[in-house]
Chains A and B, each alone.
Chain A
């Protein structure tokens, strides 16, 4: 009998109904693939100090010990100790570590998906230098293979692997894109046969924030970038990453790589999206098994480069005070620390930094696929309360970020808490202040 408190679905990567023992076996497969030396070191080094809980906004908001980050990795740790640890045969023989059961996996679904944004703050606090967030990613892989990833994420991952977009859209996205160009009077290069730069788009922007799409195109046009969008690899998000399915993540990534190769691009630009950067810049080469034939840059770091080279000139923003949210995957995990601030500085933005900023910023609460989980909404709101208060405490009037999923999260939280600020896009601000 499971003790999971959230409802969960029994669908996942496989899409078919598996027997419990098959689920256990598949989970074990995914875990086994990750029994490398670094994962082992991470698992072995834990001294049960519990400090990771003090970094996790889910624990801080609820004081519920089950949200202790390292606890989320427990099924993986158990499997490792039983199969690959130094004393694995003894653990097995003496029954000191039992096989990971399907009940355990079901119990862990809410820990690995609903209450984790993969934000990586826990990895920063760990005194033993354990990459806790990566252990949780591996935990998700086991769940996905066992068909125990949350329905929303699993379905979207499957759909995106098959079609290139997470869900059916009312109209095909290439059409939406063309319309945006027309509606905002901006040229949108689509499906050029060759270009130096290939650009992807967040589907949330395509659907909800068309001005952001237009803004990015406007900036790229103004600097004369040799770029194009490709219908077959339009969407930046990678739901395979969220769902924890390595296979689906690979398929989705491969599509981007294929298209970029086809047009001979030397650079793939990741739009205002967080995990897309992680998936493409840091994980893609390893997941497809070879070095990427192109560079990967986030739009903010690309623009900052242009700014530094003098190819982009920006005017001053009128004296409003801004707070800026550092998206986890870009800043803390991605290394894009200074680019957004260079852009803001060039625009004379009166930046009011939060108490936890840059690499230490709290997650928006929506990352890691949590935005897509209806079941996680109440918990997410509790965690987001901390963040909203922190933003308010800066005393800033306006609020900026550079990730579309963060905007979704903040908009939803803002609605729930009747927040007085709108979440704006940094790229839109840049576009509005280009000096010709």
Chain B
């Protein structure tokens, strides 16, 4: 790949014009994005203007301890959409899966792109960062993921941690976390980070976040650094089966009458009440369906430690401990201590009673 002079790069507006995307179509797209992110309608014009003026940004996509599912989701599209067009307008200067180059040449290209757009490129990460034993559990190009992350983050304008692994550690961090896997934000503390968790995240959520960032910088984030536009409500609050929960109609098992009637899946372990994501509204596969609609409870895959919240078929309020006889031991101890207390009390009673007569009451 040749070096692209940033100053010479076309703006997104110019790319739109070159590809014959009319003004009306572009505005319609912007209206769609702003609606998706629950921005006020009046913002559409400003959003469109900013997006048109944005230069084709450099994107460095670093994969770490991941399964590539997030990238698959990101690039998935049933039909060419305007999102993918925009996606193609970005200068994806580094991505293991998508790029043609490999080996030293690829690394060199990455360093060139980083240098050239120093301070302005966007770093997208997926996968967790293993930290145990000096990070030896994950290496690429002769360096640990930890080191690579530090190096890549240095000149980034912002980091987007895509997927629950990059956000919080994900499956790598599940008990007993042998690799010491952590999320990006656990390592990088001095750059703006946007977490876009999910296992994987919804494609439109990822692209919508990116586009939003291009147009107006870092969006409103919740305490887990997730864009509130997509992660502001729980699945439970937007679930189409909510009225069944409120009426107390639950499926007791898969394929029972309740399940067939589309009743609430709370008893079958749905994590909806404690999961913040957009699945209930945006849905998957271009709005085709989503887990609950397909008859399976939400796994809570956009939440930290979602693998360790008890069995997926146990409700969100189920006990999260494993009693190996401690309670029974407590009972036995209670009886023993009680007996000892009574013994001591009786002895003390004899001492305190002195030489006086025996009691008359029973």
Residues in chain A within 8 A of chain B (CB atoms)? 28-36, 38-39, 83-89, 134, 137-138, 145, 246-247, 249-250, 283, 286-287, 289
Contact = CB atoms under 8 A, between A and B. Distances in A.
A207 B352 CA distance: 42
A283 B360 contact: yes
Given A145-B356, A246-B357, A287-B360, A35 B341 contact: no
A246 B361 CA distance: 10
Contacts of A85: 345
Contacts of A32: 348-349, 352-353
B356 A246 contact: yes
B117 to A, nearest CB: 67
B317 interface: no
A289 B349 contact: no
B338 interface: yes
Contacts of A31: 352
Interface in B339-357: 341, 344-345, 348-349, 352-354, 356-357
14 contacts: A28-B352, A33-B359, A34-B359, A36-B359, A38-B361, A39-B361, A83-B345, A88-B341, A246-B357, A247-B356, A247-B357, A286-B360, A287-B360, A289-B358
B24 to A, nearest CB: 75
B362 interface: yes
Contacts of B344: 88-89
A134 B358 CA distance: 16
Nearest to A34: B359
A36 B360 CA distance: 10
B345 to A, nearest CB: 4
User: Which 3 pairs between the two chains have the least Cβ-Cβ distance?
Assistant: A32-B352, A84-B345, A33-B359
Interface centre among A29, A88, A247, A249 (most CB of B within 10 A): A29
B263 to A, nearest CB: 42
A137 B362 CA distance: 12
Nearest to B338: A86
A407 B279 CA distance: 86
Contacts of A29: 352-354, 356
B345 A35 contact: yes
A283 B362 CA distance: 10
Given A84-B345, A86-B338, A33 B356 contact: yes
A376 to B, nearest CB: 24
Contact of B361 (A34, A83, A84, A289): A34
B41 to A, nearest CB: 61
A84 B361 CA distance: 16
A10 B344 CA distance: 33
A36 B352 contact: no
A289 B358 CA distance: 8
B337 to A, nearest CB: 9
A83 B348 contact: yes
A409 B114 CA distance: 106
B349 A84 contact: yes
A283 B358 CA distance: 13
Contacts of B361: 34, 36, 38-39, 134, 137-138, 286
A39 B348 CA distance: 16
Contacts of B357: 33, 246-247, 250, 287
A246 B349 contact: no
A89 B347 CA distance: 13
B48 to A, nearest CB: 69
